[in-house]
Amino acid sequence: FVFQGTLAEKLRAGGAGIPAFFTSTAFGTVIQQGGFPIKYKADGKGGMEVEIASKPRETRKFGDRTYVMEEAIRGDFALIKAWKGDTNGNLMFRATARNFNPDCAKAAKIAIAEVEELVQPGELKPDEIHLPGIYVHRIVQGGKYDKRIEKLTLSTGSDEGSRGKGGGDGSRDRIVRRAAKEFRDGMYVNLGIGVPTLASNYIPAGMRVELQSENGLLGMGPYPKAGEQDADLINAGKETVSYLKGSSIFSSSESFAMIRGSHVDLTILGALEVSAQGDLANWIIPGKMVKGMGGAMDLVSSGNKVVVTMEHTAKNGAHKILPQCNLPLTGTRVVDLIITELAVFEVHPDKGLILTEFAEGVTVEEIKAKTGAPFIVSDSLIPMQQ
């Protein structure tokens, strides 16, 4: 298993001739410790005996943090897609379709680029070129393009619907409104898919908050109006989005460099489980299919403020806030704040969970009954901010 940000850096390192690098991402998780099933034996009986398990990664301490060593990736071939190219191999990408394409080309012995428009040298201005031709070995102009949108997501026209359906579900809306209270003027923020994304509907007027998307967009705007959607302009969840004035586009490796380098101030994301020490589990349920690991491991290991928004308990009533997580971890001691429909907890590095806010109509006794880990009640306990 390779998580998204480290995959981008493994490609970038491979293309730059760097054999390996160290990152804090995944330290303390099964990805670093090894032993996670990669392949099960095909015995025809539906058994779960592991045939191939992941290997432990080397670690090393720099300063007061421990880092995981990751080896670079080099490929024999890379098949990439660009918007425009010239016969010298220089390429331009359009909007967020840049993502992993430049990094894949750089890491390959032979990069083959398909372009929508092929022009002669000189027709692309030097400062418009995103990938120099030195990395491209073959170029071909494709035929007619029918760009399909996987997740067409449109604005409803109202402020609360600009990034999805606001309201309707009282519990969800309560979480969303409280999460928005964590925004501060001038912040760079990454919002997870679903409830975290809805918090952007409640950014106060006059407050400047720039949203960063892992696939290479800073200054992400609301969902587009019908007819204004662009198949090449999407967020990390593949939803159609728009630009804001002052937005910028970049590659996936650049995006995760921002994250890994602690340039993003705040991350709000969902969770399957959170421990009393701030451990987070949100990327996989063993035995169930996972489409991809996404960028959560990189985001929570970067040292920025991490806020979890989630329902207080599972649908069957099982606890999601626990003494220790039962599911594979995304990060250890990374969560700073937990917001549910019932309460808000601060996660203190020494004291553990501290109940700081409670929802209207909810008692401390009810919160205790629905929380699987012990917590301290703050002396300054207040009703949940909205």
pLDDT in tens, 138-181: 999 998 888 899 999 998 865 544 555 544 578 999 999 999 99
C-alpha to C-alpha distance for 347 and 333, rounded to whole angstroms: 9
Q: Which residues of 117-146 are buried (b: 16+ CB within 10 A; e: fewer)?
A: ebeeeeebeeeebbbebebbbebeeeeeee
DSSP 190-236: EE-TTHHHHGGGGPPTT--EEEEETTTEEEE-PPPPTT---TT-B-T
Residues belonging to the active site: 214
Q: pLDDT, tens digit, for every residue of 294-351?
A: 889 999 999 999 999 999 999 999 999 999 999 999 999 999 999 999 999 999 999 9
Residue entry with tokens 């996987």? 150
CB-CB contact of 214 with 236 (8 Å): yes
Separation in Å, CA 177 to CA 321, 359, 370: 21, 12, 22
Question: Coil, helix or strand for 253?
Answer: helix
Q: What is the pLDDT of residue 157?
A: 67
Q: For all residues of the chain together, what is the average pLDDT?
A: 93
Q: What is the pLDDT of residue 311?
A: 97
14 residue type, one letter: G
Pairing status of strand 273-275 against strand 280-281: antiparallel
Q: What is the pLDDT of residue 292?
A: 64
C-alpha to C-alpha distance for 195 and 86, rounded to whole angstroms: 43
pLDDT interval class at 365 (50, 70, 90): very high
Q: What is the pLDDT of residue 213?
A: 95
Q: pLDDT, tens digit, for every residue of 230-275?
A: 999 999 989 999 999 999 999 999 999 999 999 999 999 999 999 9
Task: Give percent of the chain with pLDDT exceeding 70.
Answer: 94
Mean pLDDT of 205-217: 95
> Which region holds residue 114: left if phi is over 0, alpha if psi is between -120 and 50, else beta?
beta
> Which region holds residue 146: left if phi is over 0, alpha if psi is between -120 and 50, else beta?
beta
C-alpha to C-alpha distance for 269 and 371, rounded to whole angstroms: 19
C-alpha to C-alpha distance for 355 and 55, rounded to whole angstroms: 39
pLDDT interval class at 2 (50, 70, 90): confident
Closest CA to 263 of 315, 212, 336: 212
Q: What is the pLDDT of residue 166?
A: 47
